[in-house]
């Protein structure tokens, strides 16, 4: 009698097993939370309806870049989209993107009651916020920085002498990186702060968008009222995120007509201060233990 063929199968013991493997530290927990938050914000492993708006926004940012690269390939003499124009064109989309993902990062956890579960894990409250800031920053960078870097690469590689062209435009890459990174964390921090105060995503989305619009109107009105005092009027402009971003881009790329007389250092300082204040307020808010 021949032996039973091996493919007949195996018997698995599915009883409970204790876990004896490694336990990774705080950095692993922060990265795990950031990764999970990014995936949920983009609608991954969720119904297709959750994926539509992020995909549309990515498409809206990618299309002008692809067109610019296409024009550069076929009509080298024709300059379609420079970097200040690119940032001017996309920062509104980045704002909408932040209004979409920040509530998913913060408000959802409150709505679903996940905070007690997270805080009963080794991750601390500060680490929780760090993970959320990291997730929001990285996702927003994919909107504000990655397309600009693709544009820079396209411009360089399609030049008649690619390597020298890339080498001579390294300064542009640095400016693109500063602009993209500051925009991502500046808008991300504002969006996260607003979202951390409500468990309703729709409320957070509305407040973020309304906040951007109202701050623009308010800043314009105040700067107009202070027309006779240009120093003060200049500072009124940085009340608006969009004006601050335009000032940053104008200052970085040496286009004073964009910067609206706001010095580059002032724009950078205001953005850094807003990021720090948003983080400090969120930290204080989440330290409340009861």
Which parts of this chain interact with other proteins (CB under 8 A)?
Answer: 14, 16-26, 28-29, 32-33, 36, 40, 45-47, 50, 108, 112-114, 116-124, 289-290
The whole-angstrom separation of Cα 129 and Cα 138 is: 14
User: Min. distance of Cβ 48 from other proteins in angstroms?
Assistant: 12
CB 281 within 8 A of CB 212: no
Closer of 46 and 167 to other proteins (Cβ)? 46
- Length of the chain in residues, anyone? 290
Closer of 124 and 206 to other proteins (Cβ)? 124
Single out the residue of 131, 136, 127 nearest to residue 195, CA to CA: 136
Closer of 58 and 118 to other proteins (Cβ)? 118
User: Min. distance of Cβ 87 from other proteins in angstroms?
Assistant: 33
Closer of 108 and 196 to other proteins (Cβ)? 108
CB 251 within 8 A of CB 262: yes
The whole-angstrom separation of Cα 127 and Cα 31 is: 10
Sorted by sequence, the CB contacts under 8 Å of residue 189 that are 6+ apart come out as 133, 136, 274, 275, 278, 279
Closer of 117 and 218 to other proteins (Cβ)? 117
User: Min. distance of Cβ 234 from other proteins in angstroms?
Assistant: 45
CB 245 within 8 A of CB 254: no
User: Min. distance of Cβ 99 from other proteins in angstroms?
Assistant: 19
User: Min. distance of Cβ 128 from other proteins in angstroms?
Assistant: 10
Q: What is the DSSP string of 80-114?
A: ---HHHHHHHHHHHHHHHHHHHHHHHHHHHHHTT-
Closer of 23 and 227 to other proteins (Cβ)? 23
Cα angle 151-154-159, degrees, rounded to a multiple of 5: 130
User: Min. distance of Cβ 26 from other proteins in angstroms?
Assistant: 8
């Amino acid at each position: 009698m021949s032996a039973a063929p091996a493919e007949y199968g195996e018997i698995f013991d599915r009883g409970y097993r204790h876990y004896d493997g490694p336990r990774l530290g705080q950095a692993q927990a922060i990265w795990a939370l950031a990764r999970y938050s990014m995936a949920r914000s983009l609608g991954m492993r969720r119904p297709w309806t959750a994926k539509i708006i992020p995909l549309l926004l990515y498409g809206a940012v990618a299309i002008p870049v692809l067109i610019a690269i296409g024009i550069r390939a076929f009509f080298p003499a024709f300059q379609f989209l420079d970097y200040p124009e690119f940032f001017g064109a996309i920062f509104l989309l980045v704002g909408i993107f932040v209004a979409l993902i920040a509530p998913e990062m913060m408000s959802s956890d409150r709505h679903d009651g996940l905070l007690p579960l997270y805080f009963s894990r080794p991750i601390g409250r500060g680490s929780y916020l760090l993970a959320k800031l990291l997730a929001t920053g990285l996702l927003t960078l994919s909107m504000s920085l990655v397309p600009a870097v693709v544009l820079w690469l396209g411009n360089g590689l399609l030049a008649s002498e690619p390597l020298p062209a890339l080498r001579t435009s390294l300064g542009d890459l640095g400016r693109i990186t500063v602009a993209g990174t500051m925009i991502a964390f500046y808008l991300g921090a504002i969006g996260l702060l607003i979202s951390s105060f409500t468990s309703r995503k729709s409320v957070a989305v509305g407040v973020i968008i309304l906040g951007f619009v109202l701050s623009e109107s308010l800043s314009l009105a105040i700067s107009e009222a202070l027309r006779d005092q240009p120093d003060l009027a200049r500072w009124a402009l940085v009340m608006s995120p969009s004006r601050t971003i335009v000032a940053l881009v104008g200052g970085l790329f040496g286009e004073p007509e964009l910067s609206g007389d706001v010095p580059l250092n002032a724009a950078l300082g205001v953005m850094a201060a807003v990021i720090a204040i948003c983080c400090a307020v969120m930290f204080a808010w989440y330290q409340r233990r009861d």
